Structure 1
């Protein structure tokens, strides 16, 4: 009987241990299930798209550029007809397009027989306005023309093109406006024409207009062309 009693006690202890182990395993499974089913506490938080590319805010760079005055220097021109590259998409992010509110960075007057020349303009404070007023020698726009091609100097791509004659406008006074800071190569092809050409920017000084004295005739730019 004593042997039977010892076996009974041992069996009871083993049964209690098995119940404790089983209870622990069930509790662990319930805890894991709750952690899996629970939603993460991210209410009100925006999760970035895995394919989204974060671009730094360029405002600081733009502000730094505007601290430097715009400049213009002579440059090597492109060969005529070398304008087959794709144009740049420059959205008009500034609502400024009138030369009346800008300063004159550069101005020249030329009587041109046949020329291809260029300038490089570093625009620190946009917009950049290229203003010109032409007086053609011939009515035929194939004989007298003034063509301006603006390229991004770094990429070489055409940013804007316009002018008088050939396939362009027949208006003698025109403006070409670019609304972003940057370095631009301005190429000019011209023939048999007199031009008053200005480069204007927001940081250039304002200059007083030169007014001809009353009764004084405007000089004819073609008087010396009779010798050609």
Structure 2
């Protein structure tokens, strides 16, 4: 479970911090970007993973990159064993169907879902509306990518507006059962949330600029922007 958490947090951190990786790749196709297309949508269309698509197009990893209509995207070959958008594995055949064997096969053990909490405001104060919508979309893209790779998530979201006492949100029954929480937006909400996460061994990802040094004293905090 903890390994899956690391994968989730690294994947979301990738959307904020990019490094250029040059490598030799043979292209299967070129895709001309259409209006409103996303990196996730293009990867899904061709049956490749987002990391594969980024590796094939190093410029997409640069900070500030934006997908624009008319851009040409290199599409790599999908590797044998990669997960496809429907959750199946490329190149894997159903041996039971192929051989028509009557031997009973053991059921696949289900993997427990990663329980994700989002504690961010849903308002347009101080111009936060657009930023919150973009961040929620980013989270959904990340969760869809995890789903395509066979990782199940269970999401709980709470509206935590400016001036709200986040301790009231933490009284919710599902809060203490989470594996990772994304938020908050406001600095005054960090300490009570960070103390809660330490007490229940929950990972806390703070993706926005906040004041305070809780990240220096609390090992449960992963803070994107630091002083």
The two structures have a TM-score, normalised by structure 2, of 0.21
Higher helix share: 2
| Larger relative contact order (Cα-Cα within 8 Å, sequence gap ≥ 6) | 1
The two structures have a TM-score, normalised by structure 1, of 0.21
Higher strand share: 1
Larger Rg: 1
